[in-house]
Chain A
Amino acid sequence: MNRFFDNRNVLGLIFMLPAAALLLVFLTYPLALGTWLGFTDARIGRAGHWIGLENFSMLVQDSVARLSLFNTLFYTVVASTIKFALGLWLALLLNRNLPFKSFFRAIVLLPFIVPTALSAIAFWWIYDAQFSVVSWALERMGLIHRYIDFLGDPWNARLSTIAANIWRGVPFVAICLLAGLQTIPPSLYEAAALDGATPWQRFRHVTLPLLTPIIAVVMTFSVLFTFTDFQLIYVLTRGGPLNATHLMATLSFQRAIPGGNLGEGAALATLMIPFLLAAILFSYFGLQRRKWQQGARD
């Protein structure tokens, strides 16, 4: 009996059990259930029957679902790109020897700490058709004559929600990249300076390549978070106006819970998986190459 417990593999298995159980109950089971629901005609209060790909073929022809796919891609691509650019810029700034360095770092983290729902409500006020502080300020400066309808016009609404998402997402990117920047030894920059590199060449040939592995990880997470965003949209626009800001996540919820069509909502949510997988694989292979490139033996 004692020998049995002394075995490394047995012991390993025993220690893994709690984690495995948690994963099974809270990750695998919901994922499997959701996917399975997508192949049924389940409604709230009624168990569904297997209907094969019917939900999916319906969704493919559904113009609102197609619009939500476009919205999601647009939202993800634009917001992630800008988050990356802004985050990198901020990280580079914060990596310098600024006075009050830790104070600025704390400030940058602020949007990340505030609960999304709360910051979404703040944005709701900022974007309000009548009380918007932005419109008010712009009008005072004489730049506009009518208040901007931030959330009432489809394109305005798309851009406004993207702006809110960026505000919320930049700190994560900036702080992670800052952590990455701080792993680059200063002597590399000094060596590059002596080798004749201009500040831009130092960024291009030292900072960027050494930061790539972290960029890959951070941007994968950033893309995943953005692609699956729900709270911001739900508080700000509920998908409106005219479904212009419906993301796949919000539409899926809309169809499943208020709409009662569990099967259809689940199918839409399932359709997100291939995109997410693609993003993960992209960064995984990107990372692999970097690892090899840096010749890590250890």
Chain B
Amino acid sequence: MASVHIRNVHKYFGGTHVIRGVDIDIADGEFAVLVGPSGCGKSTLLRMVAGLEEISGGEIEIGGRVVNAIPPKERDIAMVFQNYALYPHMKVRDNMAFSLLLAKRPRSEIDSRVAKAASILGLGELLDRYPRQLSGGQRQRVAMGRAIVRDPQVFLFDEPLSNLDAKLRVAMRTEIKELHQRLKTTSVYVTHDQIEAMTMADQIVVMRDGVVEQRGKPLELYDHPANLFVAGFIGSPAMNFLPAKLRRAGDRAEVELADGARVPVPRDAAGEDGLPVIFGARPEHLSLAGAESGLAAEVVVVEPTGADTQVFAKIGGTDVTAVFRERHEFRAGEPIRLAPDHERTHLFDAASGKSLRT
């Protein structure tokens, strides 16, 4: 086991600056998830940790050892690829044993380690099959088996669940988390799915365009997004944003929306009077209000899921979503009033996108 430190790392593909100064610290035994929209450089960063891509600048340290110049096979890491990359001409058993075989382990040790990994993942029956004879989920499991037989210092996962159907994805998510709780091996997991990130991570690293936007514990990011991007990316349905102006009068702080409506904002919000801001409220922090309070909205669509009710509406010209635990029936076009839970709202500088809460 080992900690991983990524210090001011850069990556150029020809003239394209793909990773632009990334710093990440992953503690020993931690499960870190790199999340971000497609093309933001997550895979590239992961592949640099693996040693599959040259590091153009900066330093990567695994287990106290700077690995910039160390070839992949000496880094003691295992990787689960998005397409699984199972050797098609080898049986499941041989796929799993391959690295141990190359390391010239005695046959008895190889067999017992393969058997152990197989029993952890429930692969016992499949050991004598070829990858083509397996379903997607089984292949995924074999790919993980191949990683865990080696008992490496670090596991790397590159979108391992994205080729599975939705139901299996949820099941495997839990399974990977369980596996991590059991083995406690430092893991770096790449995904574009923020729900995967939220549910699995000890630490989430949100990336965009080759830089880290924010990193921290899942709920930290949820409760205190550092900027508009993170606020909009983490959470589903996404946070509602309303353009507004900050208004200060004494120690009261409010925002004034385009239509003149005013809403109080958290006390810790910074910024002077008149500052153009983006007011943010999560769908579950909006509640139905009486005629005098809240913001005037017009219902567009109601989607009851059974467990909760999602209401899509318009405030001024802006689309908003609200989620209620209770069941409601609204007609399209019906006027309602939505009141934000103001201590849990967010405020961002409209120009820089940075959070104004301290």
| A residues neighboring B (CB under 8 Å) | 185, 187-188, 190-197, 201, 205-206, 209-210, 293-298
Which candidate, B124-132, B303-311, B345-353, is the interface stretch facing chain A?
A: B124-132
Q: Interface code B125-161, partner A: CB below 8 Å = 1, 0 otherwise?
A: 0000111110000000000001000100000000000
Which of B51, B52, B146 gathers the greatest number of chain A CB atoms within 10 Å? B52
Contacts of A187 in B (CB 8 A): 81, 83, 85
Residue numbers in B under 8 Å from A192 (CB-CB) = 87, 98
A293-B130 contact in complex given A193-B52, A196-B99, A201-B102, C-beta closer than 8 Å? yes
Chain B hits for A205, CB < 8 A: 87, 98
A204, chain B: closest CB distance, angstroms: 11
Question: Is B167 interfacial (CB 8 A cutoff)?
Answer: no
A188 touches B85 (CB 8 A): yes
With A193-B71, A295-B132 already in contact, 7 other A-B pairs whose C-beta atoms are closer than 8 Å: A187-B85, A191-B81, A194-B79, A196-B99, A205-B98, A210-B88, A293-B130
Chain B interface residue count, CB cutoff 8 Å, equals: 26
What's the least CB distance linking A191 to chain B, in Å?
4
**Interface SS of chain A:** helix
Q: Are B88 and A294 in contact (CB under 8 A)?
A: yes
Q: Which residues of A contact B98 (CB under 8 A)?
A: 192, 195, 197, 205
* In the bound complex, CA of A193 to CA of B85 (Å): 12
CB-defined contacts of B77 to chain A, threshold 8 Å:
194
Cross-interface CB contact of A206 among B72, B87, B146, cutoff 8 Å: B87
A196, B102: Cβ atoms under 8 Å? yes
Flag if B72 contacts A193 (CB, 8 Å). yes
Among A191, A192, A293, A295, chain B packs the most CB atoms within 10 A around the CB of A191
Q: Residues of B contacting A294 with CB < 8 Å?
A: 88-89, 130, 132
Partner of A185, one of B52, B85, B89, B150: B85
What are 27 A-B interface contacts by the 8 Å CB criterion? A188-B85, A190-B72, A190-B79, A190-B81, A192-B87, A193-B52, A193-B72, A194-B50, A194-B51, A194-B52, A194-B72, A194-B73, A194-B79, A194-B99, A195-B73, A195-B150, A197-B98, A197-B102, A205-B87, A206-B87, A209-B89, A294-B88, A294-B89, A294-B130, A295-B129, A295-B130, A297-B132
A109 to B263, CA, bound (A): 74
Nearest chain A residue, comparing its CB with the CB of B47: A190
